[in-house]
Structure formats: C-alpha cells, structure tokens
Amino acid sequence: IQQFLDIPDDFTTVQFRYDGVKGVASIDPDMPKHIHLFIRDSMKKFHSNHDCFEVCKLSAPRPIYLNRQAILLLSYRQISDSSFLILQQQNHLTLIRSLLRNSNAEKLILEKVPSWFLPKDIHDANIDFIHEPFFRQLLINSCLQSTRDLLQRTRIQISSNKGRNMFGIVDEYNVLKPDQVFIQYTILGRDRNNNKSKTEILDQCKVVITKNPCHHPGDIRTFIAINHPKLEHLKDVVVFSQQGDRPAPHDISGSDLDGDEYLVVWHEDLVPNKTNNASPYDFDSQIPADNFPRSVTRDDINNTILRIAEQDCLGRLSNLHLAFADKFGVDDAKRRAEDILSTIELAGAISQEVDSGKTGYHPLSEDKISRLNNVLENKRPDFMDNPSLEQYESPYILGKLYRASKKTLPGWNRLLRYHRHLRHLQVRTRDDLEEDDDEEVRNNDEEAKIELDQSLLDVVDRQHSGYRECAHFAKTLASVYRQEIFEILNLYGLSHESDLWCRNVINGLTGELEDTAYTELEQLVNRTRTRFFNYQIIYCEKGKCHDDTPVSKLCDICRKRQQSVVVACYDVCYAGEYASEQAPILSLPWLFAAPLLQHRIDKKSPSSEGLLSKAMKKALDKLVSVQHRLRLDGWILRFQTSGKCFVGEADVDLTVCAFIEILQQCIGSKKYPHWSWIVSRFVRNTSSFVLKSEQSTPTDEWELILRSHKIDEYDEYAGLLISMDWTEEEDRVMHDYFQNILDICFDKGRQTNDIGFLNISEAVILLLQKMAINETII
C-alpha cells in the first residue's frame, strides 16, 4: 500500500473497504508470508465482486483539539478552570507570535498549506513570511480562522506531544489487562525537517480517552498506558484490551473499532486524578435497523438519504445539551416534567440520533424538541451567542473561555482594516457594535498596497528580448490561473484565495465539499505546473531537460529561461494589471518557489526577527522622551517586604530594567492584585540577578520597589535606557522575558487555581497582540 500510493511515512493501520468488507487492518509481524490480509466474519457487510482494495484513511500523527463537549466532561471530572484558560491563552499566544517571529510564522504557514505546495527547503531561502504579501494573507487568515474556532466552538489545540487523534484497534495478542491501553506516538516538532521516525511509548502513564460526539459523563474515561514488547510494532494508534466484562471502546460513546478515531490525552493538566470513571451509558440499542422484504433498489437508497437529511436534528440536540448542561449540570438526572428529558437522558437521545442513519429512528419529535426549548425559557448561555434568544452570562468554564476569547477580537479585527481583501474574516458577536470608519479604511488601504521584493526581480535582465517572450507567456499563464482560481472560489462560496489555501470553512463549507474544493485546487496546481514546465522543455537545445528535471539539474539555458518565466509571473501578479484588481491572486509564482528562490538560498535572515524589540524601543523612547517618567531608580533594584521594610538590593541587566519599565506602564498601572508578586518573582528568576549583599536570601516575601518619578535633566539611568542597542539578540531576550513572566503566571495559576494570576497573563498576551498588530504599545 505504501509503495503503490507513494506515501513517504510509515504507518501501521489502514481503514479500508474491500469485497463488501469494512473495517481496520493493522500490521502483524508474525503473519505467514503467503497471507496478506485476515478478515473477521463481523467485518463482512454484504456480498460483492468488487475486488479493489480501497484505502479510506491511514494511521498518522494527527493533532488533537478539545471541543465544548469534551471540555464539559473534563470539567465534570474536576479538571480545573485554570487548566483550560491556560491552554486557550497558549493557543492565542501561538497565533500572536506568528506575527512577531519569522520562525513562528513559517511554522504556522507550513502547518496550514498542503505539503505539495512549497519545497521542503523553503526555510533556507530566508523569506520574510510576516511581511511578504501572499504569506501575510495566509498568516492573517490562519489567525482569524483559529480565533473564530476558539470563540464559536471553543476549539482548543493541545500540544502535539501531549495528545493525539488516533485510530482505535484491539489487542490481537491479548496481553493488555482491563483498563490498560498501549500508545506509541510519533514525536513531532523537534527538528525543522520534522523527522517522523522517532517515537515514544507511554509506560505506566495515565491517559484520558473520549470520542466525538461525547455527551454522557461516562463517555470520557481514564486508562493506564503500558509498554509491552508484543505491541511495539504499532504506532499512532491506541490499542485497547480485549479483556474485561465489556469492550472498553463501547463504553466510550458506544464506539467500535472499525475506523473510529479517539481523542487520546496524556497532558498532565487534563488527565482526571480526583474522580473515577462514571458508569457508561447503555449504548446497546434495542431499536431494530430498517429491513426491506425485497432487494434494495437505487430509489430506496435515495429515499433513505433524503429522509435522513430532512429529519436530522443532531446539531440542535447537541446545542440543547450544552444549554441543559449549563443550567442543570452535565450529570443531572432529574426530569422537570414527566415528558421532559433530563440532561443525562438527553445525552442518551443524542446517541440514538447519531445512529438514526442506520436505524431510521429519531428519538425526539419536533414537538418534544420544542418542549425542551420551553424548559430553558428562551434563554441561552452567552457562549452560544444566539442572537434570537435572551442571553445570560454563564458562570462555568465554557462561559469563562468565551469571554476571555472575546477580548482578543478588537485587536484581530483592527488588523483586518489594513487588508481590505480579508475583511470577510472579521469576527463579530451579537453585542459588538463597533463599526469601521470609512475614511480610516480608505487610508489603511493606501498603506497596505502590495510591496514587491526587488531582489526577486533583479536576478534577470528584464530588458532582454528573451525576457519579453517569457513575460508574454507568464501573462497568459497568470490569466488562465486567475480565472480558474475564481471559478473554484465562486463554486464553493469562498471569498479569497487564502480561504482555499488555508481550508477556511468560514462560509459554511464542510466535509466532502471542502475536500472537493481542495482536490480541485491540487488539480489546478498540477495543470499550471505542467504548463509551466512544458513551456521550458520545448526550447531545450540539448534535449536533456524534462518537465520533472530538478532546478539544480537543468542546463544553463533552461535554468535561465525558467527563472525568467517565474520572475515574470511574480511581476505580473504583484506589479502588473492584476495587482490592482479588487482581489489580486498572488499564489501563482509560489507554485514555482524553487526556481523563484534559488538565488536566495542561505542568504541573510529577514529583518522581521526584530519586530518585538522595535515596538519595545518605541515604547521606551516615549516613556523617557515624552512622558519623562520612570518607575525604577536605576539598574540596582531595591526590595522591601509587604510591611515596607527594606530587605536588600540586586544588580540586573539593563534589558531587565527596560522590560520592567514598559510592563509597569502598560500592565502595572491597572492595579492587578498579584502584579507586584509576579514582577518581583520575574526579577529574581532572571539570569543576571545578583545580590549586592550575600547576607540576605531572597524569598517570595521580597517585593520590588517601584515608584513613579519624573526624570531630571542629568538622569544617567534614563540616558542608558534611551541609548540601548536593540539588535536581534535583544529581540530574543525580550521574547524570553515575556515567556518567563507568562510561565510564572501559568505555574501559579495551576497551583492555586486563582484566576487572578491568569488575568495578568491575559493582559501580557493582549499587550503582545497590540505590538504584533500596531508595532507599538504606548
């Protein structure tokens, strides 16, 4: 399978269809060589002569996201609110850093775009991903898409090496005991090339597992992951024991092992340790499946699909469950009236609704759903953001996450004012009344005109007669490509090409339609690349160059012609008549990134690495030169106790002083109760912290002395601050300082479950967002 499909990475499990058989197959090193596939009787669904082995999906290291149902159940299992708030803040921080550090921008873009788009050595070309117009569009689209998901779906990503989305398979060797699982996962993100050969096996590690949809308290369960030599050939799957009173997967949302995927989490903040697994729901349906007394016809199939589509109410029931759980509790078993389901019973009804496609049975009629709505008195928690119903502020975790996420919206929406082609990405809530100022929008449009990278144009002589011929071909290629991109966008209701590249489903495109749009994009790219490379080989005087010849192997004439064509593509898209169109299409030259960037390999790194220090320098200049006020007396810092008793002095690096001055102005002035403790702990943790006297020992009782004072004309300390050099090293140091102060807030928030510490980390992250968008903070 791997050879036939030309798949570079190893896999151990495949979901397939074959000869009327449906299921999952995994590798068995002990299988006799003359046997290729074992099939259980239960996998045989119908008789067929179709002997093509159809691959549906392969096991792979897939990222994991929490959703509202999973968060509800984890919160029920006494996972603290601070754990979820920290995770969401870290998600926001990842997005913001992609606009501040080129390495973070590159990582986010490569996670979003398809693997067949950009060359693997693109990092070596040192592109400024943050400011390059096309890649900046992808960055902004990705950030707004993730922000929308966090706000409207509470879709929180977990670190790739702390949890995965995995196929479930059974322990064929019968070595796992009840409540044990085997998990070996591919380690991701430790090197630039993302070497997927390194794995890690969880041994004696408690994990929590669920499967979507999950509504019943018993749908989320803990297991012990162990190592066993018999299973070490299996990776990126969760192996369940076949021992016990009932199948463990069946306890989890009534799932089975014919291709179901599970959310598997071993993140230490998210694994319940204070509660036991709740009793599972009885998923053994007593509802018989539809049976036909005759052979099934095509009309039967069509009518069944239409009936399912017309009667499907799974989404409405899931939303009702969210509202019931918020009002009555996720484990509430009390009926408000004889014919009104409890929250637990509603979870069971949703399970039956999930199976309605197979059984034809819908547990709740429209009348019963209406009566459930009446119990809620036309009120919904604020996180559901339902404009047609009365809204109340939910005091529970989903409400807290929603309101925290809302605070980032003004910054992201402000960013879109500089990009008129992306304003469809704006995220609004029902109480968001802010309107764009038309004159400001026009001015921002003027500032956001497409900038060319002259170094990409200067590699060819554009006055040469040969270039004019290449430019004519490039213009034709761009015209056809542009037209076909717009056809895909219009067909699938997308607004901008970045929606297509980032698989942004903002306009309701989901499931198979989204996949189809992506497939059409891939086919268009293949056609365009074929036209491009065919044009070059027609003229190869030596007859050695072909459409698949790597750039490094081309003859000199073909290499120069290829470079001329791709430069002409860049020119026509970024500076030609198409650049001034309502929605310029900038992706074309990047289909040929290898020849476009070949002269840039291993050149100087882009300047965007200093964006943070640039904003910090502006802020410091304003403090000293405009406001004429500082909070520290110098680089020798003084400490006191809460009782104002002086306890010691310490030397620190001038960068620490600059950092404190700026944060004290932006955050300290807001009177957060824990701010003094946080900033004092930060100072003591810095590597440059040196006590002036060895007789004193710093403790958590030490409080940094901060007092606002006016700068006089001969202030040496102010002079040193204003004359600081802000190189790439200072930029790196500032990033480290921000991470250090956030880590202090996160650690203390975990230990105490005191949201006050997370209010400070939230303020720090919003400050970083302001720097990323405005490049200034004061």
State residue 109's pLDDT score: 96
Beta bridge partners of 609: none
Per-residue pLDDT band at 294 (split at 50, 70, 90): confident
- Model pTM score: 0.93
Longest CA–CA span in the chain (Å) reads: 99
Taking alpha carbons only, the member of 217, 219, 209, 201 closest to residue 264 is 209
Please report, rounded to a whole number, the percentage of residues in the chain having pLDDT higher than 70. 92
Query: How far is residue 299's CA from residue 523's CA, in Å, rounded to a whole number?
Result: 33
Residue 258's CB is within 10 A of a number of other CB atoms, namely 13
State residue 775's pLDDT score: 78
Predicted confidence (pLDDT) per residue in 603-649, tens digit: 665 555 589 999 999 999 999 999 999 999 898 999 999 888 999 99
Residue type at 516? T
Predicted confidence (pLDDT) per residue in 143-173, tens digit: 999 999 999 999 999 999 999 999 999 999 9
Per-residue pLDDT for 536 more than 80? no
State residue 99's pLDDT score: 96
Residue type at 349? A
- Which range is most confident: 60-64, 290-294, 297-301? 60-64
Q: Which of 372-386, 489-503, 539-553 has the lowest mean pLDDT?
A: 539-553
The arithmetic mean of pLDDT across residues 679-688, rounded, is 96
Q: What is the mean pLDDT of the chain?
A: 89
The arithmetic mean of pLDDT across residues 49-66, rounded, is 93
Asked if residues 518 and 116 have their Cβ atoms less than 8 Å apart, the reply is no
The arithmetic mean of pLDDT across residues 260-272, rounded, is 97
Taking alpha carbons only, the member of 432, 413, 407 closest to residue 764 is 407
Instruction: Quickly tell me which residue has 């529970």 as its tokens.
Output: 396
Q: Which two tokens stand for residue 603?
A: 């050149």
Instruction: Quickly tell me which residue has 């903070």 as its tokens.
Output: 777
Query: How far is residue 84's CA from residue 63's CA, in Å, rounded to a whole number?
Result: 17
The arithmetic mean of pLDDT across residues 235-240, rounded, is 98
Query: How far is residue 109's CA from residue 472's CA, in Å, rounded to a whole number?
Result: 31
State residue 606's pLDDT score: 59
Could you tell me which residues come within 8 angstroms of residue 438 by beta carbon, excluding any fewer than 6 positions away?
A: none
Asked if residues 139 and 131 have their Cβ atoms less than 8 Å apart, the reply is no
Predicted confidence (pLDDT) per residue in 724-777, tens digit: 999 999 999 999 999 999 999 999 999 999 999 999 999 999 999 999 998 778
Give CA separation, 685 vs 245, 576, 674, in Å: 53, 54, 17
State residue 507's pLDDT score: 55
Compute the CA torsion angle 769, 770, 776, 778 (nearest 10 deg).
-130
Residue type at 215? H
Query: Rg of the chain's alpha carbons, rounded to an integer?
Result: 30
Give 390-427 as a DSSP string.
EEE---SHHHHHHHHHHTTHHHHHHHHTT-GGGGGG--
The arithmetic mean of pLDDT across residues 266-280, rounded, is 96
Cis amide bond preceding 213, omega within 30: yes
Query: How far is residue 534's CA from residue 524's CA, in Å, rounded to a whole number?
Result: 15
Predicted confidence (pLDDT) per residue in 19-54, tens digit: 999 999 999 999 998 999 999 998 998 888 888 999
Query: How far is residue 74's CA from residue 398's CA, in Å, rounded to a whole number?
Result: 12
The arithmetic mean of pLDDT across residues 459-480, rounded, is 89
Counted residue by residue, the chain has a size of: 778
**Main-chain dihedrals φ then ψ at residue 635, nearest 5 degrees:** -75, -5
Task: DSSP letter for 722, please.
Answer: H
Q: Which of 166-170, 364-368, 571-575, 604-608 has the lowest mean pLDDT?
A: 604-608
Taking alpha carbons only, the member of 317, 172, 148, 305 closest to residue 241 is 172
Q: Which of 22-31, 65-74, 295-304, 500-509 has the lowest mean pLDDT?
A: 500-509
In a 3-state reduction of DSSP, which class is residue 445? helix
The arithmetic mean of pLDDT across residues 336-353, rounded, is 91
Asked if residues 593 and 569 have their Cβ atoms less than 8 Å apart, the reply is no
Residue 215's CB is within 10 A of a number of other CB atoms, namely 27
Could you tell me which residues come within 8 angstroms of residue 196 by beta carbon, excluding any fewer than 6 positions away?
A: 9, 10, 61, 186, 188
Per-residue pLDDT for 433 more than 70? no
E strand or H helix at 158, and its extent?
Answer: strand 156-158
Predicted confidence (pLDDT) per residue in 742-757, tens digit: 999 999 999 999 999 9
The arithmetic mean of pLDDT across residues 500-523, rounded, is 77
The set of long-range contacts for 379-383, using a CB threshold of 8 Å and a minimum separation of 24, is: 380/323, 381/322, 381/323, 381/326, 381/327, 383/68, 383/154
The arithmetic mean of pLDDT across residues 413-431, rounded, is 87
The arithmetic mean of pLDDT across residues 11-21, rounded, is 94
Residue of 113 and 194 predicted with greater confidence: 113
**Main-chain dihedrals φ then ψ at residue 116, nearest 5 degrees:** -85, 0
Per-residue pLDDT band at 310 (split at 50, 70, 90): confident
State residue 446's pLDDT score: 46
The arithmetic mean of pLDDT across residues 69-92, rounded, is 98
State residue 6's pLDDT score: 86
The arithmetic mean of pLDDT across residues 240-244, rounded, is 95
Query: How far is residue 105's CA from residue 102's CA, in Å, rounded to a whole number?
Result: 5
CB crowding 164-202: b at 16 or more within 10 Å, else e: bbbbbbbbeeebbeeebbbbbbbbbeeeeeeebeeeebb
Euclidean distance between the first and the last CA atom of the chain, given in angstroms as a whole number: 59
Beta strand 390-392 pairing with 379-381: parallel
State residue 555's pLDDT score: 80
Give 165-182 as a DSSP string.
EEEEEE-TT--PPTTEEE
Per-residue pLDDT band at 778 (split at 50, 70, 90): confident
State residue 444's pLDDT score: 56
Per-residue pLDDT band at 402 (split at 50, 70, 90): very high
Per-residue pLDDT for 552 more than 90? no
Residue 665's CB is within 10 A of a number of other CB atoms, namely 20
State residue 281's pLDDT score: 86
What are the structural domains, with CATH classification, of the chain?
2-58 (no CATH), 64-265 (2.40.40.20), 300-376 (no CATH), 408-447 (no CATH), 454-600 (no CATH), 609-774 (no CATH)
Beta bridge partners of 170: 240
State residue 190's pLDDT score: 56
Beta strand 221-225 pairing with 180-186: parallel
State residue 749's pLDDT score: 97
Q: Which two tokens stand for residue 157?
A: 């990503």
Task: DSSP letter for 623, please.
Answer: I
- Which range is most confident: 146-155, 279-288, 437-446, 448-457? 146-155
Residue of 135 and 196 predicted with greater confidence: 135
Please report, rounded to a whole number, the percentage of residues in the chain having pLDDT higher than 90. 66
In a 3-state reduction of DSSP, which class is residue 463? coil
